[in-house]
Amino acid sequence: MTAGIVGLGLMGGSLALELKELDYVEKVLGYDKNEEHKKEALKLGLVDKTVDFDKIKKCDVIFLAIPVEGIIEALNTLTDIDEKTTVIDLGSTKEKIVKNVPKKIRKNFVAAHPMTGTEKFGPEAAFKGLYKDKILVLCNIEDSGEKQKKLSEKIFKDIGMQIVYMDAKEHDKHAAFISHLPHAISYALANSVLKQEDPKSILVLAAGGFKDMSRLAKSSPSMWTDIFKQNKKNLLLSLEVFKKELKKAQKLIEEDRWDELKDWMESANTLHKIL
């Protein structure tokens, strides 16, 4: 089986390394619009060969590891693939993508979201083990072909992922709170500090808490702009809920209601009993 990966950054590059370890994957081909990424991917040994997009179309399984707006664009150029081909997207939002899959290739398509990643991006960020023991969400799998469903499940299980199934609309609601909101908060925190503190103060005083909270602000702005755009409604809802909690904390502090503030914090502590 030949696998093709569109997008040779953190997600695509790391996946390529995993696929090369599977005995039923004979070759891993890669494509990226960025010519430098192609060169880096080859130099780092992420893929066996980089090719034009037309050759990716001939692969047995195609992974779309690109920003979510690009996934929709790519799907509309894959309408001439073989009926046995499997196309799997790795986008962080799902509803808009699922709604825009051309009907002609709906059976070919599998909507997937690996719940993994780092704040780094580009081919040099790729590493083996990114997917191991992480959650993989498959959305609206009942609309995929039986062959495509079984192959996608096998591949993700074989690289060590735990699969859960979800409706695309529900996925996006949950992802807004669990993934997209934290990124928005991290970007806001970074900008807030940059506007108040000079670089020397940040360097000297920034400890673990700030570094942990601001880490996500290193993430690719292009990728996360796309994600926020596709999940706008759910993200705005999550931001409103977050603002209410922040205002509550502000009010408790302003009014010296320290016991209630402690209770508020203790309530938040219970999250880690779940995690």
Residue 231's CATH number: 1.10.3660.10
For position 214, what pLDDT does the model report?
Answer: 85
DSSP tag of 67: -
Among 125, 142, 166, give the residue marking a domain's end: 166
For 39, the domain range is 2-166
Nearest to 90 by CA among 56, 50, 131, 48: 131
Mean of pLDDT over the chain = 93
For 239, residues 6+ apart whose C-beta sits below 8 A from its C-beta are: 181, 184
Give the DSSP per-residue string, 116-147. ---S--SGGG--TTSSTT-EEEEESGGGS-HH
CA-based R_g, the chain, Å? 21
Nearest to 28 by CA among 1, 58, 66: 1
Whether 150 and 198 map to the same domain: the answer is no
Q: Which residue type does 180 have?
A: H
For position 275, what pLDDT does the model report?
Answer: 64
How crowded is residue 215: how many other Cβ atoms within 10 Å of its Cβ?
Answer: 14
Cα separation, 130 vs 100, in Å, equals 28
For position 199, what pLDDT does the model report?
Answer: 67
Whether 251 and 228 map to the same domain: the answer is yes
Among 123, 147, 166, give the residue marking a domain's end: 166
- Inter-CA distances, 133 with 78, 166, 192, Å: 31, 19, 35
Whether 220 and 152 map to the same domain: the answer is no
For position 24, what pLDDT does the model report?
Answer: 97
Question: How many domains, in total, are found in the chain?
Answer: 2
- Residues of the chain short of pLDDT 70, as ranges, are 197, 199, 203-204, 207, 275
Cα separation, 231 vs 88, in Å, equals 20
Q: Convert the pLDDT of each residue in 73-100 to its tens digit.
A: 999 999 999 999 999 999 999 999 999 9
DSSP tag of 161: P
pTM of the model: 0.85
Cα separation, 242 vs 41, in Å, equals 39
Cα separation, 67 vs 226, in Å, equals 6
Whether 37 and 104 map to the same domain: the answer is yes
Token reading at 252 = 């408790």
Token reading at 41 = 């991917």
Whether 148 and 268 map to the same domain: the answer is no
Phi, psi dihedral angles at 234 (to 5 degrees): -70, -35
Q: Which residue type does 169 have?
A: K
Q: What is the CATH number of the domain that holds 14?
A: 3.40.50.720
Q: Convert the pLDDT of each residue in 169-179 to its tens digit.
A: 999 999 999 99
Cα separation, 91 vs 68, in Å, equals 5
Token reading at 106 = 């709906």
